C-alpha cells in the first residue's frame, strides 16, 4: 500500500469517527501543552533554587563580615592590655574601634572572667563586675573559647544589661597565661541588620537562625519565623564561630504549582476546544457519508424488493409502453395468466389480448391517464388466453411519469378474478332463485331491524295478502303500525318491543287492515338473525290465517253457545226436578192422608186439594213446555219486524189491565225502527215486560211506562222504564231471571215470565239488563243483536 | 220437656195444609201455626210472647226467603232466650245451600218433602 493510500485510509478512518478523532486530538493537545508546561515548571523551579542560594550566600557573607570585624575589634582591644595586664587608653581605643564598626554595640575587657571594662559604659552598667565564668549561661562558651584559644560567640542570650544579644569573646593570654577575654557585645537587632536579613525580606522566602547547645547538643532557633520547615524547600549554611546554622526557607512549597494551575486549566480548555472543533469539522462529512450509505442501502433494498415483487408476485405485473401499448416487460405470473412466454409477450401489445367488448373502456381510461386527468385507474375486463379461453381480470394501472413529464410507460397489476366472477354469477343466480322461492312462499316474508323504523325487505306476497305492493310497504316506515288493527296496536307494539329486548323469536297472531279496509288475521312467525354481538335482525313470515281464525271464532262461539245452553239445561233440569218434586211430594202426602182418613168430609177436602195439585202440576208442565220450546226451538224463523207494530199489539192484549190500573204508555220509538227477530219471541218479551210494569206498579201512583230505543255498538237497545215498586237488586238481582223466583206476595207472580224472556233473548244472541231502585221504579234494557 | 209448638213457613198453600194435617194427626205438637213467607212469620214473632219450639222452613219464598228469615230470627231469638229448633224443608236441597245453612247455629237439620209422620216423630224426639 502506497503512502498516499495509507494517508487516505487514515484520514477516512478519522472522518468516519468524528467523536474518536475529537477525543484523540483532545488527548494529544493536552499532552503537548502539559509537557511544555512541565519543562517550564522545571526551569522556574531551578531559578528559584538558585535565587535562594544567592540570598543565603549574601547573608552568610554579611555575618562573616560582622564576625571578622568583631575579631578585628577584639584583637584591637586586646592590644591595649599591657604586660601587667592593665589596659591602656581603653576608652579611647574602644571609642575608636566602635566608630569603625557600626555592627558592634559595645566592647569589653574581662580580666579573669570578670567584666571590668566596658565601652560605652552607658547602658551597660548592669554588666559591670559580672563574672562570666560562674554564670551558667556564659560559662560553657567561655570555657570553649579558652580551650580552643579561638574567639567564640555566645548567644543570642539575655544580656545582663538587658535585651538579647551576641557576645564574642577572644581569650587573651599574657605570658602564656590566661588573662581574660577581649569581648564584643552585638545586640541581636544590630546583628540582624548587619546580616541584612531584615532588608532582604521577600514574600517567597524567610530566614531562620539556629544554634547548637553545647551541653545538650540540641538546636535552638532564634528568629520569630517558623522553625518547623523540614518538609519544606530550604537551604542552610553553618557558621562554626558561634555553632550557628543559617537557613533560607521557601514559604510555601505549593506556591509554584499554584502559579501553574490557571495555565494548566487553560491548556485543558484549549484541548477540549481543539477536540470539539475537530469533532464538529469531521461530523458533517461523517453525517453526509452516513446518509449516502443509508440511502444507498434503501435503494438497494427497494430494488431487491421490487425485483422480488415483480418476479415472484402472486399477481401478474406488466411494464407497458403508454403511448403504443406494447409490453416492455412482464413477470412470470402474467405469462402464466395469459399463456404466452416472456419473449412472445414482448412482441405484443395489450390491445391484442383484450376482449373487444372491454377494449373501448380500457382505451378511454388510458387516454385520460395520458392527458393527466387521472392518476391511475382500476378496471375489470377480459383477456384472451393463448388457448382462446376468456379470463376475467382486475387491472390496476399506475403511470411511471411525473406530472410535468411526457407519458412514457406504466405498470399494470393484473389480478385473475375469473373464479370470483363465476361465484358472483352463481350468487346472482342463487339470489334470484331465493327471491323467486321467497315470493312463492304462502306468506309475506319480511326483514327489519328492531332499532330502526320500517322494514328492509318485504316479499311480493304482500300484494296478495294485504293488497299493498312490497314497494308501498318498504317506502313507508310506519306502514306496519298504521295497518295494524287499531284495537291490537297497543299490545302488538308492546309485545314486539319486549321480544326485541330479549332477542326472543316469537310466533303471534294479530289483526291487520288490508287495502280494502277489511280485517286480515295474520300469524307472524318471527326469528332472530344475529349479525354480530350488538346488532340483530328480525326475520318473519306473515301468514294469512283469516279463514282459520274465522273457523276458530265460529267454533269458539259455538262452544260458548253450547256451554251456555248446557248450563241452561242443567239449571232447567234442576228446576224441573225441584218443581215436580214439590208437586209429587204434595200428591204423596195427600194420597197418604186420603188413605188414612176415615172422615168422608175430610177425604172430600183432601181430594179437592189433590185436584188443585193436579192443576198446579199441569200449569207447571205447561210452563216447562214453554221453556223447553224456547230452549229447543233451533229453527226459529227470523224476520224483519216493526217494533212499534208489536208494541201496539201488546198494548191491545193488555188494554184491560192498562185501563184497570190507569196506566200510561209513553212510546218514543220511531215507526221505522225494525229488528230482525223471531215474531213469537218479540211478542212474548214485550208482553212480559209491559205486563210486569203494570203488575208491579206502585200503589200510590198511576203506572207510567216509557219506551225508547238507541244504538249501542252492535246492538239496538230498547228501554222499558216504569215508576213501579222496583226491585232490591242487591238482595234479589241474582235470582231475577230464575225460574219460579218471585219477590212479592202478588198472587199473579209465578216466577216464570222473566225466566222465559231471558231465555228467548239469549237464544237470539242478545242480552237483558236491569236497573232498579225499590220504591222508585225499574228500567229494563233489551239488547237486540244487529 | 217435650216440645209443644211448631210453625210451618212455606209459600205452597197445599203443602201447608197437608203438613198441618199430618202434624195434627201425630199429636206431637198441640199447637201448629203457618206462614206463607218469612216476613209474615217475623212480623208475627216480633209481636208474640214466645217463639215456637220448632220451625219448618222453606228456602225459596217470595217477599222474604228462608235466608233472610234466618238472619232476622237470629236477632230476635236472643230476646226470647228461646231454644228454637229450625229444620229446612225442601223438595231438593243444593249442596251449597246445605253448607250455608250449617253456618246458622239454630239449624237442627234438613227434611226432604214430603213431610211424613215418622219425620215429625223424629223432630219431636230427636234422640
Give the number of residues written for chain B. 127
The answer, for B18 touching chain A at a CB cutoff of 8 Å, is yes
SS3 A703: coil
The answer, for B21 touching chain A at a CB cutoff of 8 Å, is yes
Q: pLDDT at position A347, please? A: 93
Is A431 part of a structural domain of the chain? no
CATH architecture of B5-124: 3-Layer(aba) Sandwich (3.40)
Nearest CA-CA partner of A79 in A68, A69, A87, A91: A87
- Both A170 and A89 in a single domain? yes
Q: pLDDT at position A747, please? A: 64
The nearest CA of chain B is from the CA of A593 a distance in Å of: 8
Q: Do B92 and A578 touch (CB under 8 A)?
A: yes
d(CA A458, CA A471): 8
Q: Which domain holds residue A247?
A: 1-302
Is A724 part of a structural domain of the chain? yes
Q: pLDDT at position A742, please? A: 67
The nearest CA of chain B is from the CA of A589 a distance in Å of: 6
Partners of residue B66 in chain A, C-beta under 8 Å: none
The answer, for B19 touching chain A at a CB cutoff of 8 Å, is yes
Q: Do B60 and A740 touch (CB under 8 A)?
A: yes
Q: Do A582 and B63 touch (CB under 8 A)?
A: no
Nearest CA-CA partner of A168 in A246, A300, A68: A68
Interface of A with B (CB under 8 A): 574, 577-579, 581-582, 585-586, 588-590, 592-593, 596, 609, 612-613, 616, 731, 740-746, 749, 751
Q: Do B21 and A593 touch (CB under 8 A)?
A: yes
The answer, for B36 touching chain A at a CB cutoff of 8 Å, is yes
Q: CATH number, domain at A77?
A: 3.30.450.350
The answer, for B25 touching chain A at a CB cutoff of 8 Å, is yes
Regarding beta strands B107-112 and B85-90, do their DSSP bridges make them parallel or antiparallel, or are they unpaired? parallel
Q: pLDDT at position A520, please? A: 92
pLDDT averaged over every residue in chain A: 86
Contact A743, B63 (CB under 8 A): yes
Nearest CA in chain B to A582: B91
| Residue A496, φ and ψ in degrees, nearest 5 | -60, -40
pLDDT tens-digit map of A89-115: 878 888 888 888 788 888 888 888 888
The nearest CA of chain B is from the CA of A669 a distance in Å of: 34
pLDDT tens-digit map of A39-63: 988 898 888 889 888 888 888 888 8
- Both A101 and A228 in a single domain? yes
Nearest CA in chain B to A611: B14
Q: CATH number, domain at A331?
A: 3.30.450.20
DSSP single-letter state for residue A408: -
Regarding beta strands B54-57 and B5-9, do their DSSP bridges make them parallel or antiparallel, or are they unpaired? parallel
Regarding beta strands A767-773 and A409-416, do their DSSP bridges make them parallel or antiparallel, or are they unpaired? unpaired
User: Helix B66-80 to helix B38-47 angle, to the nearest 10 degrees?
Assistant: 10
Q: Do A613 and B25 touch (CB under 8 A)?
A: no
Q: pLDDT at position A415, please? A: 92
Q: Do B113 and A596 touch (CB under 8 A)?
A: no
- Both A317 and A226 in a single domain? no
Q: pLDDT at position B1, please? A: 44
Q: Which residue has the cell 237442627?
A: B108
- Both A539 and A626 in a single domain? no
Q: Do A589 and B115 touch (CB under 8 A)?
A: yes
CA atoms within 13 A on the CB side of A8: 5
Q: Which chain B residues in 41-80 lie under 8 Å from chain A, judged by CB atoms?
A: 60, 62-63, 68
Q: pLDDT at position B76, please? A: 81
Q: pLDDT at position A122, please? A: 80
Q: Last residue of some domain: A362, A390, A423? A: A423
The answer, for B93 touching chain A at a CB cutoff of 8 Å, is no
% of residues, chain A, pLDDT over 70: 97
Number of domains in chain A: 5
Those residues of chain B that have pLDDT short of 70 are 1-3, 81-82, 127
Q: pLDDT at position B49, please? A: 77
pLDDT tens-digit map of A559-613: 987 887 787 778 777 777 777 888 888 888 889 888 888 889 988 988 988 898 8
pLDDT tens-digit map of A253-295: 677 778 788 888 998 999 999 989 988 888 888 888 889 999 9
Q: pLDDT at position A413, please? A: 92
Size of interface A-B (CB pairs under 8 A): 62
Contact B109, B90 (CB under 8 A): no
Q: Do A581 and B92 touch (CB under 8 A)?
A: yes
Partners of residue A598 in chain B, C-beta under 8 Å: none
Partners of residue A731 in chain B, C-beta under 8 Å: 68
Partners of residue B115 in chain A, C-beta under 8 Å: 589
Is A429 part of a structural domain of the chain? no
Partners of residue B21 in chain A, C-beta under 8 Å: 593
Of A582, A616, A744, the CB nearest to B62: A744
Q: Last residue of some domain: A584, A614, A632? A: A632
- Both A679 and A739 in a single domain? yes
Contact A546, A513 (CB under 8 A): no
Q: pLDDT at position A77, please? A: 83
The nearest CA of chain B is from the CA of A750 a distance in Å of: 10
Q: Do B62 and A749 touch (CB under 8 A)?
A: yes
Q: Last residue of some domain: A391, A423, A455? A: A423
d(CA A87, CA A180): 12
d(CA B90, CA B113): 6
| Residue A252, φ and ψ in degrees, nearest 5 | -135, 125
The answer, for B84 touching chain A at a CB cutoff of 8 Å, is no
Mean pLDDT by 10 residues, chain A (786 residues): 81 82 89 90 87 87 87 84 80 82 84 84 80 81 84 82 84 84 86 79 79 79 76 83 84 75 88 90 84 92 85 87 92 91 92 92 93 92 92 93 89 92 91 86 88 87 92 91 92 89 89 92 90 80 90 88 79 77 86 88 88 86 77 72 92 87 92 90 90 90 94 92 90 74 65 81 87 92 90
Q: Do B60 and A741 touch (CB under 8 A)?
A: yes
Amino acid at each position: 500500500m502506497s503512502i498516499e493510500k495509507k494517508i487516505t485510509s487514515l484520514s477516512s478512518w478519522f472522518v468516519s469517527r468524528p467523536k474518536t478523532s475529537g477525543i484523540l486530538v483532545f488527548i494529544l493537545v493536552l499532552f503537548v501543552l502539559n509537557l511544555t508546561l512541565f519543562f517550564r515548571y522545571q526551569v522556574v523551579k531551578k531559578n528559584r533554587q538558585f535565587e535562594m542560594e544567592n540570598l543565603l550566600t549574601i547573608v552568610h557573607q554579611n555575618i562573616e563580615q560582622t564576625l571578622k570585624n568583631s575579631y578585628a575589634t577584639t584583637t584591637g582591644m586586646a592590644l591595649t592590655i599591657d604586660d601587667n595586664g592593665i589596659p591602656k587608653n581603653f576608652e579611647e581605643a574602644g571609642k575608636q574601634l566602635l566608630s569603625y564598626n557600626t555592627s558592634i554595640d559595645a566592647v569589653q575587657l574581662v580580666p579573669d572572667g570578670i567584666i571590668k571594662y566596658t565601652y560605652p559604659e552607658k547602658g551597660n552598667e548592669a554588666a559591670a563586675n559580672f563574672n562570666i565564668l560562674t554564670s551558667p549561661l556564659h560559662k560553657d562558651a567561655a570555657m570553649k573559647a579558652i580551650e580552643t584559644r579561638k574567639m567564640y560567640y555566645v548567644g543570642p542570650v539575655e544580656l545582663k544589661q538587658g535585651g538579647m544579644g551576641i557576645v564574642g569573646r577572644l581569650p587573651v593570654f599574657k605570658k602564656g597565661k590566661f588573662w581574660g577575654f577581649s569581648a564584643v557585645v552585638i545586640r541581636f537587632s544590630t546583628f540582624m541588620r548587619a546580616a541584612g536579613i531584615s532588608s532582604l525580606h521577600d514574600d517567597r522566602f524567610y530566614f531562620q537562625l539556629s544554634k547548637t547547645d553545647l551541653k545538650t547538643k540540641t538546636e535552638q532557633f532564634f528568629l520569630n519565623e517558623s522553625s518547623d520547615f523540614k518538609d519544606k524547600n530550604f537551604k542552610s549554611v553553618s557558621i562554626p564561630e558561634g555553632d550557628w546554622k543559617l537557613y533560607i526557607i521557601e514559604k510555601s512549597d505549593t506556591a509554584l504549582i499554584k502559579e501553574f494551575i490557571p495555565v494548566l486549566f487553560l491548556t485543558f480548555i484549549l484541548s477540549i476546544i481543539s477536540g470539539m472543533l475537530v469533532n464538529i469539522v469531521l461530523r458533517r462529512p461523517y453525517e453526509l457519508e452516513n446518509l449516502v450509505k443509508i440511502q444507498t442501502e434503501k435503494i438497494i433494498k427497494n430494488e431487491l424488493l421490487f425485483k422480488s415483487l415483480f418476479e415472484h408476485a402472486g399477481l401478474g405485473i406488466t411494464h407497458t409502453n403508454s403511448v403504443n401499448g406494447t409490453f416492455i416487460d412482464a413477470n412470470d405470473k402474467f405469462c402464466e395468466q395469459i399463456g404466452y412466454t416472456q419473449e412472445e409477450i414482448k412482441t405484443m401489445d395489450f390491445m391484442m389480448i383484450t376482449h373487444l367488448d372491454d377494449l373501448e373502456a380500457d382505451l378511454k381510461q388510458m387516454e385520460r391517464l395520458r392527458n393527466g386527468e387521472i392518476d391511475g385507474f382500476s378496471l375489470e375486463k377480459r383477456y384472451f388466453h393463448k388457448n382462446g379461453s376468456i379470463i376475467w381480470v382486475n387491472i390496476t394501472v399506475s403511470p411511471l411519469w411525473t406530472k410535468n413529464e411526457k407519458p412514457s410507460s406504466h405498470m399494470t397489476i393484473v389480478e385473475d378474478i375469473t373464479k370470483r366472477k363465476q361465484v358472483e354469477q352463481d350468487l346472482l343466480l342463487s339470489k334470484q332463485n331465493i327471491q323467486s322461492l321467497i315470493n312463492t312462499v304462502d306468506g309475506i316474508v319480511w326483514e327489519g331491524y328492531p332499532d330502526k323504523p320500517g322494514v328492509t325487505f318485504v316479499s311480493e306476497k304482500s300484494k296478495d295478502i294485504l293488497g299493498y305492493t312490497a314497494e308501498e310497504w318498504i317506502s313507508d316506515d310506519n306502514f306496519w303500525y298504521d295497518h295494524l288493527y287499531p284495537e291490537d296496536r297497543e299490545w302488538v307494539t308492546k309485545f314486539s318491543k319486549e321480544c326485541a329486548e330479549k332477542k326472543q323469536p316469537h310466533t303471534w297472531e294479530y289483526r291487520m287492515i288490508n287495502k280494502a279496509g277489511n280485517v286480515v288475521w295474520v300469524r307472524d312467525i318471527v326469528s332472530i338473525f344475529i349479525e354480530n354481538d350488538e346488532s340483530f335482525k328480525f326475520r318473519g313470515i306473515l301468514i294469512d290465517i283469516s279463514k282459520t281464525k274465522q273457523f276458530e271464532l265460529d267454533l269458539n262461539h259455538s262452544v260458548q253457545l253450547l256451554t251456555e245452553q248446557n248450563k241452561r239445561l242443567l239449571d232447567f233440569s234442576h228446576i224441573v226436578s225441584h218443581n215436580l218434586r214439590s208437586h209429587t211430594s204434595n200428591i204423596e202426602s195427600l194420597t197418604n192422608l186420603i188413605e188414612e182418613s176415615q172422615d168422608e168430609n175430610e177425604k172430600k177436602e183432601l181430594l179437592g186439594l189433590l185436584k188443585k195439585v193436579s192443576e198446579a202440576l199441569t200449569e207447571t208442565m205447561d210452563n216447562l213446555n214453554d221453556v223447553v220450546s224456547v230452549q229447543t226451538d233451533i229453527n226459529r224463523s227470523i224476520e224483519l219486524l216493526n217494533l212499534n207494530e208489536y208494541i201496539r199489539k201488546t198494548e191491545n192484549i193488555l188494554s184491560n189491565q192498562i185501563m184497570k190500573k190507569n196506566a200510561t204508555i209513553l212510546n218514543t220509538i220511531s215507526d221505522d225502527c225494525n229488528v230482525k227477530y223471531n215474531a213469537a219471541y218479540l211478542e212474548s218479551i214485550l208482553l212480559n215486560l209491559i205486563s210486569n210494569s203494570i203488575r208491579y206498579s206502585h200503589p200510590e201512583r198511576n203506572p207510567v211506562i216509557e219506551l225508547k230505543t238507541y244504538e249501542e255498538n252492535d246492538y239496538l237497545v230498547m228501554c222499558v222504564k216504569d215508576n213501579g215498586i222496583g226491585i232490591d237488586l242487591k238482595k234479589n238481582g241474582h235470582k231475577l231471571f230464575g225460574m219460579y223466583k218471585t219477590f212479592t206476595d202478588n198472587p199473579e207472580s209465578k216466577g216464570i215470565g222473566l225466566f222465559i224472556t231471558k231465555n228467548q233473548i239469549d237464544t237470539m244472541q242478545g242480552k237483558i239488563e236491569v236497573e232498579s231502585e225499590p220504591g222508585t221504579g225499574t228500567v229494563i234494557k233489551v239488547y237486540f243483536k244487529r | 220437656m217435650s216440645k209443644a209448638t211448631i210453625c210451618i213457613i212455606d209459600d205452597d198453600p197445599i203443602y201447608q195444609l197437608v203438613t198441618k194435617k199430618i202434624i195434627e194427626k201425630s199429636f206431637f205438637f198441640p199447637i201448629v201455626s203457618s206462614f206463607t213467607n218469612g216476613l209474615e212469620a217475623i212480623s208475627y214473632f216480633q209481636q208474640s210472647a214466645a217463639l215456637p219450639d220448632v220451625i219448618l222452613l222453606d228456602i225459596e219464598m217470595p217477599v222474604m226467603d228462608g235466608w233472610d228469615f234466618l238472619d232476622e230470627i237470629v236477632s230476635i231469638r236472643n230476646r226470647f232466650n228461646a231454644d228454637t229448633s229450625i229444620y229446612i224443608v225442601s223438595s231438593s236441597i243444593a249442596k251449597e245451600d246445605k253448607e250455608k245453612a250449617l253456618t246458622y247455629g239454630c239449624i237442627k237439620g234438613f227434611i226432604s218433602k214430603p213431610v211424613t209422620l215418622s219425620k215429625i216423630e223424629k223432630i219431636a224426639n230427636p234422640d
